[in-house]
C-alpha cells in the first residue's frame, strides 16, 4: 500500500469507528433519564394544540427544559429529546404534553404508560405529587389510545415510561392556573424523577 492508500484506509477506519460509536450510544448505551417535549421539531402532522396565544409545543419545551436543567443540577444524567427522537435506552423516560378538548374544560390532567408494572407505579408516584396541586379534572390512566399506545414507547426503551398530560390548553381557568406555574411544574417533574431514582432533593412547591 502506498502512503496515499494508507492515509485513506486510516481515515476510513476512523469514520467507521465514529459511526459505530454513535450507533452504540443511540441504541445500546443507556442514559438515566430521557425527557421528551411533545411535538417538538414537528412542522406538520401532529404539531400539538394551539389556543389563543398559547402553543402546546412551546409549553412542553419550557417544562421539559426546566425539568432537565433541575435534574442536572441534582447530578442526574439527562437527555432531552424532541418528538421524533432516535432509538434510545433509559431507566426513566417522561414525555411532556398539555391536552386540548373540543368542548373547553372537559379535559384536564392525565397519564399514559406502557403495559408494565414499573411504569404504572411510577405514574402513581407522579400523580400522588401533582394531584396535591392541580385543582382540575383528572382522567383515568391511559384514557386515550394515544396515551396507551404512545408512538415513542417503541422508540425509547425505558424501564419506566410515563406520558404526562399536565392540563388543558383550551380551558381558560386551567391556563390561568398553569401559565404562571410552568417552570415550577418542570421542577416538580424533576422531583418526581429524582425521588423515583432514590434521591432526596428539596421538594419544589407550586
Residues in touch with Zn ion (CB under 5 A)? 38, 48, 97
Minimum CB separation from Zn ion for residue 156, in Å?
Answer: 16
Report the helix count and the strand count for the chain, using DSSP H and E. 7, 7
Q: Which residue lies nearer to Zn ion by CB, 97 or 160? A: 97
Q: How far apart are the first and last CA of the chain?
A: 68
145: left (phi over 0), alpha (psi -120 to 50) or beta: alpha
Specify the residue, 170 or 194, whose C-beta has the smaller distance to Zn ion: 170
DSSP code, position 90:
E
Q: What does the alpha-carbon distance between residue 159 and residue 44 come to, in Å, rounded to a whole number? A: 30
Distance of alpha carbon 64 from alpha carbon 87, whole angstroms: 19
| Cβ closest to Zn ion, residue 98 vs residue 122 | 98
Report the residue number, 45 or 202, with the smaller CB distance to Zn ion. Answer: 45
Q: Closest separation between CB of residue 34 and Zn ion, Å?
A: 17
The distance of closest approach from Cβ of residue 74 to Zn ion in the complex, given in angstroms and rounded to an integer, is 27
Query: Do the Cβ atoms of 113 and 70 come closer than 8 Å?
Result: no
For the bound state, the minimum distance from the C-beta of residue 124 to Zn ion, rounded and expressed in Å, comes to: 22
Residue nearest to Zn ion (CB): 97
Amino acid at each position: 500500500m502506498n502512503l496515499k492508500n494508507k492515509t485513506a484506509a486510516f481515515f476510513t477506519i476512523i469514520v467507521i469507528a465514529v459511526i459505530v460509536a454513535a450507533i452504540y450510544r443511540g441504541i445500546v448505551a443507556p442514559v438515566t433519564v430521557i425527557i421528551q417535549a411533545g411535538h417538538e421539531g414537528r412542522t406538520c402532522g401532529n404539531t400539538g394544540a394551539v389556543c389563543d396565544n398559547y402553543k402546546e409545543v412551546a409549553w412542553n419545551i419550557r417544562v421539559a427544559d426546566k425539568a432537565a436543567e433541575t435534574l442536572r443540577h441534582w447530578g442526574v444524567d439527562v437527555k432531552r429529546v424532541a418528538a421524533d427522537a432516535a432509538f434510545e435506552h433509559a431507566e426513566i423516560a417522561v414525555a411532556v404534553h398539555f391536552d386540548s378538548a373540543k368542548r373547553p374544560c372537559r379535559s384536564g390532567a392525565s397519564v399514559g404508560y406502557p403495559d408494565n408494572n414499573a411504569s404504572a407505579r411510577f405514574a402513581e408516584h407522579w400523580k400522588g405529587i401533582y394531584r396535591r396541586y392541580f385543582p382540575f379534572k383528572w382522567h383515568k390512566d391511559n384514557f386515550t389510545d394515544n396515551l396507551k399506545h404512545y408512538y415513542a414507547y417503541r422508540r425509547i426503551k425505558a424501564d419506566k415510561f410515563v406520558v404526562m398530560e399536565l392540563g388543558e390548553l383550551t380551558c381558560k381557568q386551567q391556563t390561568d392556573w398553569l401559565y404562571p406555574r410552568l417552570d415550577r411544574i418542570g421542577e416538580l417533574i424533576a422531583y418526581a424523577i429524582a425521588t423515583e431514582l432514590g434521591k432526596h432533593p428539596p421538594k419544589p412547591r407550586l
